A and B are shown apart, each in its own frame.
Chain A
């Protein structure tokens, strides 16, 4: 039997700001290709527009996605809070900056209303849909998922791409935590993107272990990636170490900077590029200046499309110093671009990926030690590049989709 799924997500290409959108897109596309019917309810798509780009219609988006229908839900929900990259770049006032420092992940003042409004609209739209199972991605859609399950009598599966503890450390937003917890307990199954996250769900949210399934993310096989030989970027004598991700507490930018300082004590010709936006951006720029390495650290802000390819082509090493990373697709993407990776041990990817260097995010000396080793020893860089790339392409969304299908069948008891 073919399972019909109604999926509640909150970002989808071309509007992506991070791993969540990439993951929803990859998983949904693969499910569709496997013949599963998916109706994806997406906040705010009336009409879809890329700022400064060409208008794009729902129809065009769907054309690359067999068996998938996209339905817009008028809503202003924004993932990662209001300083996610979708918000226009602008300088923050001093008070705004201050209010962000050390606080919980910044969501707009009307977030509760928005989450509620989204749920109401999802119920209305779903009236006209036929489905067997509800699949909700991350907390903002959980109230909608719970309401829809109660209304329709269909089972709910929630998927955890990140928890409030990943995003905010110990300073959790109680409101968000409560919604997450409620969603996990109301669901028939909880899918996590790693054992790392599964343990958080068990220990912090009190969910019974047998209810939680791990489904690793995949990575889109991208045909357009240029090989390094044909890369148009001329490399100067400086070696480049890359940080690419949101510049937030979760991603550990300050550890990257401190390691950079240690590296520069031993190696002169190294540049550090930090690509991304986030509530810690300005603090990080200041920190680089304080450490006296401002002339060696470059901030690009959020990069898209060709710029992402270009920065990867410049890089000798990609570093992901995350404090807490539920999965970590970015290192796999770096490897697709043939850039070797150094990743935090507190990440989902570190538990299953072998051909990467791994480090505790707080162990600055060890991080610097490994960065220097990659820069100094070409055989190491080459081995990590070749073996890592070979391993990265094995993370396929088709396998994730097959696992999800398996979980659906168990929930629906049709095995």
Chain B
């Protein structure tokens, strides 16, 4: 557990959106678990960060939330993507790919 890192600032939103895109509507706990799994348990989600982040996405209109029932009949708040959220995924994915490509070139060994 000790070497698990916190989520980098600004990346959590995209992770949440991407998770919702692949998994469909999901509750906060599910989103957290899914991100942790996808990261290969390398990330630890701090709930003090997750819920404000969800709220922010909701305020910005990228996701919406409804109360629903979980698989084992628990009441939970389910988040799903909006049209603006999907656009945001496309846009931010492109930006991330470009950023990591650029960073990759800087960090690649022996290309002086």
Are A and B associated in one complex?
no
Q: Which residues of B contact A (CB under 8 A)?
A: none
Q: Which residues of A contact B (CB under 8 A)?
A: none
